């Protein structure tokens, strides 16, 4: 009897202890929840995704490894899966974020406030399928008071793999997005400003580069007229003059085309043989060479590597430098005018060097420092833009344009172009 009594007492005490323990744990849990959930400044949402677990497991068993790719092919399933989701709980910060007045109100309209987002859902599905514990993504929320709030969300899944209590944390990134947008806008403004000023420069360059062939055309037209009307018409000479006219018209056209391409898109650069490029460029100004009575020499090293260039632009550089040289020699009345265009390999620097050399008057030391300035010209009709344009084209190709000149010996302009490595230089 006494024995039984003690057993009963012991059992009762044990029971009391257990009840007390449970009660205490529950109290501690509640306190924990109040501190870390309800009062958390970070919005926390608890969702139950267990309804979709078996579907995901079945998909995995069928061999679906990439749920993102699978759902992209069957987007209607996202909405279907979503029907099995439940919003379990939301803390005060969630209510504030959405502008909701009470938890009940929020939970009632949560499915509308947080409609299925393919991207976000896929991330959680993938995490569930891979048995991982966290997922993260970005999405935009539309609040009850009409605000649009970009957030980064982070989900933590219980280690047990139980998907009935997935915690979602939301971080408002409005400020970061705003700063990012300000930065992007500033960059775009800057790029636009740079473009506008380049367009300004280019307009001047059109005037400069188109003026030359037009002048050549008008000279050729007069010549052709003479060949056809002077005494015995010389059709052959007239025809060859017409050929020159056509070439110059093509040159003017190429310049205009270059501007158009520039305005449309990024510069087009291709692996190019400088040998062919230099010969083409000089071919285009053959007429001027004759007129200025200049003998042109081409010295090109054999088997040069290619350069990645905009062919039209580099041709323009060669033409500008060569015309300057011819004009300088003609204006100075140089006898025996020689123009040499040479291309040499400089393997140590992985560049090729193009040299345009004349035996003209040279450039006076007092002005040599100014020839690359915009609008600096010693010619009555000069625009003083040719060298500015050459320098900027060469620079944009990753090369350098330099000059060397000696009185009565002549002038040599040199520019480098990096080897083509299959990469567009900045
Ligand atoms: N090969 C050269 N020999 C002598 N002077 C030159 C040569 N190339 C350029 N210059 C000088 O540089 C100046 C600027 O050239 P450029 O920018 O092409 O403008 P422009 O040809 O319109 O004068 C020329 O006016 C001339 O004084
Ligand atoms: Mg010039």
Point out the residues of the chain with pLDDT beneath 70.
1-23, 188-202, 261-267, 422-426
Ligand 1 pocket residue status of 323, Cβ below 6 Å:
no
Distance 345 CA to ligand 1 centre (A): 26
Q: In testing the pocket of ligand 1, which one of 327, 371, 383, 391 has its CB within 8 Å of the most ligand atoms?
A: 371
Chain segment 310-336, per-residue pLDDT in tens? 898 899 899 999 999 999 999 999 999
Ligand 1 pocket residue status of 387, Cβ below 6 Å:
yes
**Phi, psi at 171, each rounded to 5°:** -120, 115
What pLDDT is recorded for position 193?
61
Distance 403 CA to ligand 1 centre (A): 11
Closest atom of ligand 1 relative to the 332 alpha carbon? 4
Distance 392 CA to ligand 2 centre (A): 14
What pLDDT is recorded for position 231?
84
6 Cβ contact list (under 8 Å, min separation 6): none
Burial class (CB in 10 A: 0-12, 13-18, 19+), 319: buried
Chain segment 296-312, per-residue pLDDT in tens? 999 999 989 999 998 98
How many Cα atoms are found within 13 Å in the side-chain-facing hemisphere of 172?
Answer: 15
Closest atom of ligand 1 relative to the 372 alpha carbon? 17
What pLDDT is recorded for position 190?
66
What pLDDT is recorded for position 423?
43
Distance 363 CA to ligand 1 centre (A): 8
Ligand 1 pocket residue status of 390, Cβ below 6 Å:
no
User: Which of 163, 58, 87, 73 lies closest to 118 in space, CA to CA?
Assistant: 73
* Closest residue CA from atom 12 of ligand 1: 371
């Amino acid at each position: 009897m006494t024995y039984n009594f003690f057993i009963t007492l012991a059992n009762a005490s044990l029971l009391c202890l257990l009840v007390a323990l449970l009660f205490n744990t529950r109290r501690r849990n509640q306190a924990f929840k109040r501190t870390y959930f309800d009062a958390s400044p970070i919005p926390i949402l608890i969702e139950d995704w267990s309804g979709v677990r078996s579907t995901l497991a079945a998909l995995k068993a069928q061999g679906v490894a990439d749920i993102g790719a699978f759902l992209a092919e069957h987007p209607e399933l996202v909405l279907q899966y979503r029907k099995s989701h439940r919003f379990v709980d939301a803390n005060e910060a969630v209510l504030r974020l959405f502008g909701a007045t009470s938890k009940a109100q929020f939970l009632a309209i949560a499915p509308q406030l947080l409609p299925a987002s393919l991207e976000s859902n896929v991330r959680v599905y993938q995490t569930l399928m891979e048995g991982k514990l966290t997922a993260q993504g970005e999405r935009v929320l539309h609040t009850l008071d009409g605000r649009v709030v970009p957030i980064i969300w982070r989900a933590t899944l219980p280690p047990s793999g139980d998907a009935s209590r997935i915690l979602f944390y939301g971080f408002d990134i409005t400020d970061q997005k705003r700063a990012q947008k300000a930065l992007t806008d500033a960059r775009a403004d800057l790029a636009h400003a740079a473009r506008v000023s380049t367009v300004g420069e280019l307009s001047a360059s059109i005037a400069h580069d188109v003026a030359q062939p037009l002048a050549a055309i008008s000279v050729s037209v007069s010549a052709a007229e003479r060949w056809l009307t002077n005494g015995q018409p010389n059709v052959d000479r007239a025809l060859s003059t017409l050929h020159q006219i056509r070439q110059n018209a093509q040159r003017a056209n190429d310049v205009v085309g270059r501007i158009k391409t520039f305005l449309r898109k990024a510069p087009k650069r291709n692996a190019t043989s400088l040998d062919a490029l230099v010969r083409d460029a000089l071919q285009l100004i053959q007429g001027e060479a004759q007129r200025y009575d200049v003998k042109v020499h081409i010295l090109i090293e054999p088997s040069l590597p290619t350069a990645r260039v905009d062919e039209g632009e580099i041709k323009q550089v060669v033409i500008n430098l060569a015309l300057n040289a011819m004009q300088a020699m003609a204006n100075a009345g140089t006898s025996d005018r020689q123009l040499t265009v040479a291309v040499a390999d400089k393997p140590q620097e992985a560049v090729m060097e193009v040299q345009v050399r004349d035996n003209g008057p040279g450039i006076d030391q007092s002005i040599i420092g100014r020839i690359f300035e915009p609008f600096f010209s010693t010619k009555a009709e000069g625009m003083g833009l040719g060298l500015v344009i050459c320098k900027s084209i060469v620079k944009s190709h990753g090369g350098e344009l330099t000059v060397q000149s000696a009185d009565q010996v002549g002038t040599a302009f040199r520019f480098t172009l990096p080897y083509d490595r299959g990469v567009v230089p900045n």
